[in-house]
Amino acid sequence: MEKTFVMVKPDGVQRGLIGEIVARFEKKGYKMVGGKLLTVPRSLAEEHYAEHKERPFFGELVDFITSSPVFAMVWEGENIIKTARQMMGTTKPAEAASGTIRGDFGVTVGKNIIHGSDSATSAEREISLWFKEEEQSSYTKKV
């Protein structure tokens, strides 16, 4: 079954949106198979955002993501990589549709509440970067 990496960023945690975000994914029918609150080490933030290293906002991005805890998760479900991105809305919250997480709760691009893997390759890379095998619990839903 397809898996993706989702992270509630420091602004989302500070604003008390973990529960709202988890609820949206649960209600959609997806299954959380890994989840943890952590203050991100700078080295992990730099590796996670390595593709943006040359961007002018890279330093600001790493400063922000390490500034206070994030809630990192692995979610599982059919076609979840693409659907999670649709549920999140576009990167710029000002342009994100109402009904999406960023559209409903975000205002600025730097503080856009949530991150989700943008492809199967990214999902695989990000899950293994953030979660050890034993931190993921695959299980069958019985209800």
Task: Please give the distance of CA 73 from its chain centroid, rounded to a whole number.
Answer: 7
Window contacting ligand CMP (CB under 6 A); options: 13-21, 29-37, 73-81, 106-114: 106-114
- Token duo for residue 68: 């206070």
Residue type, 10: P
Beta bridge partners of 94: none
Task: Say how far apart CA 138 and CA 134 lie, in whole Å.
Answer: 10
- The distance of closest approach from Cβ of residue 110 to ligand CMP in the complex, given in angstroms and rounded to an integer, is 4
Beta bridge partners of 70: 38
Told to check if 102 binds ligand CMP by CB under 6 A, we report no
> For the window 12-51, what string marks contact with ligand CMP as x by the rule CB under 6 A?
----------------------------------------
Catalytic residue among 80, 87, 115, 127: 115
Site residues, ligand CMP (CB under 6 A) = 52, 57, 60-61, 91, 109-110, 112, 115
